């Protein structure tokens, strides 16, 4: 998938027709350096022999990594295909997409996406792609509404994650009403969508965001040094990530195992204050702030670690990929309890869960007394069994195949006559 500079300009895939086994996936921006999991998800779909067409509703790139020059966007928006889409949608569709009761700022943001949305739908119709998936369920919902209302035979799926559910835009709610299926990445989210959004249980599918377990694994040729004990933490350095709690637990662990070190990957506005905290706790000599790491560098750090400590209190932090990738490398997670985390970690079996009220000294003692080798194996097995990206992609393609089967069944009587 396009992590590199694109070689072709719009319109992407000119002249090709994808009647089956194709899906267009809509992002706000793609490719994006902060979305390595998006690349992984799309690669997994391609491994399932799907043709994946990416749509970016803002940023430099547009369709399949094509450069979104203003002239190209304008040409697509003013073309006959886009105007045909507009006629198909009609005033009712425009009102549902752009005048749905969201606030002025949100309405303006969705309106600014309109040129790309109309041009993209026209292009997808031209190459006969019939399935659209919204990777994000907030502002991209505007394209989902236009897509579905422009042609009722189109299928639409929407992924609603933490941010989408927290924000709960009306444009998102409208898109879920007309979507064929809504996917989410935890049972906790599924319950919120059914109870809080009023969606039918049968309409919401839980598909865990999977990890590339072939990539994130500890090399058998490079076993951990028994004389070294590295703990890692990964995330943006902001107060909501609660790195203070990580440092406090690390201090307790060092009292029991003086040889351990902590590497904190990430950057953010809280860096200087956290560096001050390490000096106050006399941890500055054994704590490394390594800054933002490329995904490949973060993987190497995970492969050398024994534990990952995750103490975020940020709302909407649901089953973070950093924890799953670490577990895939055999790193044992130590995580502050938050919604859905028990779907990923079984306390005392493949990781440790604790609450803010738990004494840190007792937590540290429990960790030191545990068989981390066995827990490391269990953590890896959990990811391979339940959070493998190949398994997640199979679930998603089964969902798409179900729509294809329904379409063939619907068309059969007419074909018979």
pLDDT at 404: 62
Would you place residue 211 in the very low, low, confident or very high pLDDT band (cuts 50, 70, 90)? very high
In this prediction, residue 121 carries a pLDDT of: 94
**Model confidence at 415, in pLDDT bands (50, 70, 90)?**
very low
Which residues, 6+ apart, have CB-to-CB distance to 41 below 8 Å?
135, 209, 210, 389, 392, 393
- Model confidence at 224, pLDDT cuts 50, 70, 90, reads low
- What ranges make up the beta strands (E) of 57-202? 131-134, 155-159, 181-184
Task: Give pLDDT tens digits for 293-346.
Answer: 998 999 999 999 999 999 999 887 889 999 999 999 999 999 999 989 999 999
Alpha carbon distance 331, 322 (integer Å): 11
pLDDT of residue 406: 52
Pick from 185, 139, 196, 178: nearest CA to 159: 185
Q: How confident is the model at residue 99 (pLDDT cuts 50, 70, 90)?
A: confident
Q: What is the C-alpha to C-alpha distance for residues 303 and 307, in angstroms, rounded to an integer?
A: 10
**Edge-to-edge strand order for the sheet containing 287-291?**
287-291, 261-265, 230-234, 307-310, 332-336, 352-354
DSSP letters, 145-175, are HHHHHH-TTSEEEEE--HHHHHH--HHHHHH
Cα–Cα dist 154/96, whole Å: 17
Domains of the chain (ranges; CATH) run 22-210+389-416 (3.40.50.2000), 230-386 (3.40.50.2000)
CA distance linking residue 126 with residue 15, whole number of Å:
9
């Amino acid at each position: 998938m396009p992590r590199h500079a694109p070689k072709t300009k719009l319109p992407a895939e000119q002249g090709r027709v994808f009647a089956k086994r194709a899906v267009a996936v809509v992002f706000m921006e793609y490719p994006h350096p902060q979305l390595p999991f998006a690349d992984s998800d799309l690669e997994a779909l391609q491994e399932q022999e799907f043709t994946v067409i990416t749509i970016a509703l803002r940023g430099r790139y547009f369709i399949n990594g094509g450069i979104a020059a203003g002239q190209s966007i304008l040409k697509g928006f003013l073309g006959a295909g886009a105007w045909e889409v507009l006629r198909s949608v009609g005033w009712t569709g425009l009102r549902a997409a752009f005048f749905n009761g969201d606030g002025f700022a949100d309405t303006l943001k969705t309106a600014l996406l309109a040129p790309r949305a109309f041009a993209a739908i026209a292009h997808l119709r031209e190459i006969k792609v019939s399935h659209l998936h919204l990777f994000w369920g907030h502002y991209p919902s505007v394209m989902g509404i236009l897509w579905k209302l422009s042609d009722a035979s189109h299928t639409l799926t929407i992924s609603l994650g933490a941010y989408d559910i927290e924000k709960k835009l009306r444009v998102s709610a409208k898109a879920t009403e007309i979507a064929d299926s809504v996917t989410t990445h935890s049972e906790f989210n599924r319950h919120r969508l059914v109870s809080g959004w009023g969606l039918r249980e049968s309409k919401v599918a839980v598909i865990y965001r999977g990890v590339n377990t072939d990539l994130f694994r500890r090399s058998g040729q490079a076993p951990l040094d028994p004389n070294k004990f590295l703990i890692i933490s990964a995330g943006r350095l902001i107060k909501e990530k609660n790195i203070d709690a990580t440092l406090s637990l690390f201090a307790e662990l060092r009292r029991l195992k003086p040889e351990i070190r902590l590497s904190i990957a990430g950057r953010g506005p809280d860096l200087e204050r956290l560096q001050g905290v390490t000096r106050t706790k006399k941890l500055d000599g054994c704590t490394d702030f390594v800054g933002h790491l490329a995904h490949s560098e973060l993987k190497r750090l995970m492969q050398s670690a024994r534990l990952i400590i995750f103490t975020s209190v940020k709302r909407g932090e649901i089953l973070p990929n950093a924890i799953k990738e670490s577990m895939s490398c055999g790193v044992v997670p130590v995580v502050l309890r938050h919604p859905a985390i028990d779907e990923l970690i079984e306390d005392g079996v493949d990781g440790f869960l604790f609450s803010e009220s738990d004494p840190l000294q007792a937590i540290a003692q429990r960790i030191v007394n545990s068989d981390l080798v066995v827990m490391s194996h269990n953590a890896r097995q959990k990811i391979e069994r339940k959070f493998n990206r190949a398994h997640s992609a199979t679930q998603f393609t089964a969902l798409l195949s179900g729509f294809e089967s329904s379409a063939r069944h619907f068309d059969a009587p007419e074909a018979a006559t």
